[in-house]
Amino acid sequence: MNKDKILEDRFPGRRAALKREILEHALYCFNELGVEATTIDAIKARCDTSVGAIYHHFGNKEGILSTLFFAAQDDQRQNLEHELAKTNSLREAIYSIVSSYLDWVVAQPEWARFLYQARSPVAKGPFRQELKVRNAQNYQELKEKLLSFENKDIKIVQPFEIIPSLIVGPSENYCRAWLANRVRTSPRDYREEFSESAWRSLQR
């Protein structure tokens, strides 16, 4: 699985080939130059198309940025949903959340690197409301899934709004360090440690 597969899934077929090409080169520019420094001209210089074509497909730089961000977010979420569907207990679900997160970052390092740096600009930009709605939906679905495993013997710490951070916060911190080459060991090698830590943090 690679970045072409993510774009192909969301923009399939020959008619969307130029859109995929623009997005692929834009992803490279954002990662290499940074979100703020990347311009439409910089993207144009890499993908050998006209500025008009880029504006036609995406409207502006923020349109490109949000399209890439939501494509990556959707792919990550779908990977998580696939893994969660196989779980039968709260412990399995917590382990699945952590493992799927680490696996996705390792499988998609360029997309992961982009997600980390693009989250704040998208949250502050013209597509912030769409991001807010998406995040609220993802949060609610995760909440319902985890609470479905609760019983009189197993309770999740409250308030629930801190749960996502408790589960993936340490993993995200390590993945950022790995992507920045500050640590060398693959995040996958620490799935057990991060999963068990997340599991312990949720119990009360």
Say how far apart CA 73 and CA 78 lie, in whole Å.
Answer: 9
Q: pLDDT digit string (tens) for 45-88? A: 998 889 999 999 999 999 999 999 999 999 999 999 999 999 99
Say how far apart CA 21 and CA 196 lie, in whole Å.
Answer: 41
Q: Is residue 1 pLDDT above 80, yes or no?
A: no
The pair of three-digit structure tokens given for residue 64, joined into one six-digit string: 């490109």
- The residue with tokens 């623009």 is 22
Q: Which are the contacts of 117, defined by CB distance < 8 A and separation ≥ 6?
A: 30, 31, 34, 35
Helix axes 163-179, 191-202, angle to 10 degrees: 160
Q: Decide which of 1.10.357.10, 1.10.10.10, 1.10.150.20, 2.60.200.30 is the CATH code for 3-202.
A: 1.10.357.10
Q: pLDDT digit string (tens) for 180-194? A: 999 999 999 999 999
